[in-house]
Amino acid sequence: MTTILILAAGEQVQDPARGNYPLFLSEVRGKLLVEQLFYSFQSLAPRKFIFSAREQDVRQYHIDNILKQIDPNCVLIRGRGLTKGAACTALLAIDQIDPDEELIVTNANDLSDVDLRTVIRHFKDVGADAGTITFESLHPRYSYVRIDKDGMVQEAAEKSPISRHATVGLFWFARGEDFLTAVQKMIRKDVNIGQKYYICPSLNELILLGKRIATWQLQLNEYHPFKSAQQLNSFDNMLDVGRFS
């Protein structure tokens, strides 16, 4: 069984042209981005969804009611104020993560046109303990992995293009315990970027433990990041001209 942890407790980018709502509440293809994200995981038949958001945002935008309409069983984690990054946001859900079950940790502001069943099956087929989805980029806004000829991760970095393999912000772990161990080790070592702790660099801790981390490469037109209002508007424009259905 799989648990899906969606992270939305960081400082949210807002779009004044769309009413100053967080980007994950923007409408994409006629539905909220967060709703699309939930549906993208349905093929995995997840046991549980966990959504981590700021208490301030929950109250202001009625996120609790939105989640109830999408999945009445979704566990909502309410964070008080900003955390020290995505890794800390994820740890707010530590009591909800089963150490022996599969875990997927993902950002709330991204969509990928990919069959996740195929991706996860690949990770398992190659005997991976963890996996991430990548696309080609050199922009320093993303996290990166350096891989070997077999697509296995040799090194991970945040906001530093150590290769052309940027991650989409989705990380799969065969066991929740591996994720918790990696993140906690990274934080104890004080591996931060601008005083924030990110998830991708925690993969280095798994590498040091001898774990295998696989990758799945997307084509550029299969990944749709919404980290800025400009990216969201660009995607809308592509929909208008029929480049995406």
Examine the pLDDT at 227 and tell me if it is beyond 70. no
Strand ranges, E, within 47-193: 48-54, 75-79, 102-107, 110-112, 130-136, 143-147, 153-158, 165-173
167 phi, psi to nearest 5 deg: -95, 155
pTM: 0.91
Q: For position 24, which CATH number holds?
A: 3.90.550.10
* Contact of 99 with 177, CB cutoff 8 Å: yes
- Does some domain include residue 245? no
- Does some domain include residue 244? no
- Does some domain include residue 241? no
- Does some domain include residue 202? yes
- Does some domain include residue 243? no
* Contact of 160 with 50, CB cutoff 8 Å: no
Count up the domains in the chain and report the number: 1
Residues spanned by the domain of 149 = 2-236
pLDDT at 20: 72
Summarised one tens digit per residue, pLDDT across range 24-68 is 898 877 889 899 999 999 999 999 999 999 999 999 999 999 999
Summarised one tens digit per residue, pLDDT across range 30-40 is 889 899 999 99
